[in-house]
A and B are shown apart, each in its own frame.
Chain A
Amino acid sequence: MFLQQLLNGLTAGAVYALIALGYTMIYGILGLINFAQGEIYMFGAFVAVLLLGAGVNFFLAFIGGMGAAALLGVALERVAFRPLRGSHPLVPLISAIGASIFLQSLALLLFGPNDRPFPIQFTFSTITIAGLPLSSLQGAILLAALGFMALLVVFVRYTRYGKAIVACALDRDTARLMGVNVDRMVALTFLIGSALSGAAGIMMAIYYNATYPRMGLLPGLKAFSAAILGGVGSIPGAILGGLLLGVAESLGAAYFSSGYKDAIAFAILILVLLFRPQGILKGRGD
């Protein structure tokens, strides 16, 4: 029971972590919270579902969904954030909330209010390891999510553009003196963060077998809590925060009451903000 819940928690947590990475990277480079991250997650899932419905093969649909999410993120930065650069920090925040509402309504118009099941039924077996029934779907999601995170960490640590993004987050003026085009790095950050959110959306659409316009709301807010928990601006922090939050939620639901499942994430958010507002791993650009 405990291990089963732990695995449930890690699966959900890995998905939160993927979205939280978007929050944290964008915060790192622009110092703003993109509250439309959950809608990007939803769009990724929808595009993948539509592509699958049109008979595209699964991997292409997955990549298509991620790509659409990435493009949406870049477009959002152009339209909702770039024109507001240099204004009071509340202004882009309001703009982000506006973008979030707009995208939800747009999805409602385009896709309708009903749940759509995921077009492919995966027949995942249940593997029994040491007397524990483990779902291989969970295993696949967990592995894929961890794989994406590893890719991101490698990109940021070891590639030229990854380092340039960190440099922009640390010291924008000096990065420009090195010849780094900050606008381009911001766009790249939105591209990557949004692609990860899109991937998370598709995975959750498979996991819960449901896609609907408001599906991004709760995971988006929980991932935001996860980013704060880990220390917003820190990439390892987002991963750690996401996994911790997922596990706490799942264990809490199992041992207290499943009715409080969603409350747990936000209780953690409040506690972190009260007692360790800088998060577990503070800092920008690690």
Chain B
Amino acid sequence: MERASVPAPTRYYFLGFPNESLNEKRKTRQQNQNFTVLTLKSVQAGYGKLMVLKGVSLHVRAGEVVTLIGGNGAGKSTTLRAISGLLPPFRGVVEFNGADLTRLPPERIVTLGLALVPEGRRVFATLSVTANLELGAFHRRDQKQARKDLEEIQERFPLLKERASQPAGTLSGGEQQILAICRALMSRPRLLMLDEPSMGLAPLMVSRVYDILRELKEEGTTLLLIEQNARAALKLADRGYVLETGRIILDGSAAELRDDPEVQRAYLGKGYREVWE
């Protein structure tokens, strides 16, 4: 029911809404970039009595790639956990396509079209690669279409087909990351959130993962990306936020952030760069 009332995302990909005129209206709205998919309004969240997020406000528009950068413990992962429902916020509002997520459990939130690729990949290690992908579509009503999507993904990433019946835990870290991203795509998200997709990967795999993200971006998938690897993230993103000790201290277009001296010093390691590059 919610599904019908939610405005369309950017893509052909998710929907066959029967109402074409409505679709058109939505499309123009998105092209005007007025359409905000996700909004956080002064979200406070944390663990027990420890407040990690001290009022985070941000938004993501349809078709955008937004990145959230910051150091260790700044609250990046906590922000994603708060959005996905794993860590219900103390205070504040999380709005997704007009629906209030603040009190919803994660298993409901994913049905609204919000998928998270968790930190550290978290593939189901003893289950086969295919079973992992199938679980990504667990909540979907259209299981037939989900099976087609599975084939499509296997075609696009032959690796996942070659290793189809292999336990996911036997894949390399980078392969697991690709699997985790594809697993999230199996839910046909309107917004895909990624928590440190480059963490712990070999440089070659980092660029492979970012190639995939770039393809997704070109297809118009909306991404919210969290990274410690600010350089890679800002290269891909349209906009970014800088998070420090639970607060947004800076936001702007990716280019602005790349040129910001403070960001360069703290997150891009300028000055250091010439030495090793």
Q: Give the interface of A toward B (CB within 8 A).
A: 160, 163-164, 166-167, 170-171, 173-182, 283-286
13 pairs across A/B with beta carbons < 8 Å? A163-B135, A166-B127, A171-B124, A174-B118, A174-B122, A177-B116, A178-B136, A179-B139, A180-B107, A181-B107, A284-B126, A285-B124, A286-B126
User: What total of chain B residues lie within 8 Å of the partner, measured CB to CB?
Assistant: 26
Contacts of A179 in B (CB 8 A): 107, 110-111, 138-140, 187
A285 touches B126 (CB 8 A): yes
Given A166-B126, A179-B187, 19 more contacts at CB 8 Å?
Answer: A163-B127, A163-B135, A164-B135, A164-B138, A170-B125, A170-B127, A171-B124, A173-B86, A173-B122, A174-B122, A175-B124, A178-B183, A179-B107, A179-B111, A179-B138, A179-B139, A182-B107, A285-B124, A286-B126
Query: Which listed residue (B105, B115, B125, B127) contacts A176, Cβ 8 A?
Result: B105
- Cα–Cα distance between A179 and B124 once the two chains are bound (Å): 14
SS of A interface (majority): helix
Tell me how far the C-beta of A13 lies from the nearest C-beta in chain B, rounded to whole angstroms: 25
Taking the complex as formed, is B106 at the interface, i.e. its CB lies under 8 A from any CB of chain A? yes
A133 to B272, CA, bound (A): 85
Chain A proximity of B85: nearest CB distance (Å)? 8
Q: Mark contacts of B22-47 with chain A using CB atoms, 8 A cut-off: 1 yes-contact digit, 0 otherwise.
A: 00000000000000000000000000
Contact residues in A for B143 (Cβ distance below 8 Å): 160
Identify the interface centre among B105, B116, B127, B143: most chain A CB within 10 Å of its CB: B127
* CB atoms of A160 and B134 under 8 A apart: yes
B187 & A167 in contact (Cβ 8 Å cutoff): no
Tell me the bound Cα distance from A182 to B140 in angstroms: 16
Q: Once the chains bind, are A177 and B138 in contact (CB under 8 Å)?
A: no
For A173, what are the chain B residues with a Cβ–Cβ distance below 8 Å? Answer: 86, 106, 118, 122
**A283 smallest CB distance to B (angstroms):** 7
Q: A177, A284, A286: which has the most chain B beta carbons within 10 Å?
A: A177
Alpha-carbon separation in the docked complex, A173 to B84 (Å): 11
* B131 is an interface residue with CB less than 8 A from chain A: yes
CA gap between A166 and B136 in the complex, in Å:
14
The reply to whether B86 and A176 contact each other, CB–CB distance below 8 Å, is yes
Q: Which single member of A167, A170, A176, A284 contacts B106 (CB below 8 Å)?
A: A176
- Least CB separation from B114: chain A residue: A177
* A141→B136 CA distance, assembly (Å): 39
A285 CB, min distance to chain B CBs, angstroms: 5
Closest to B122 in A: A174
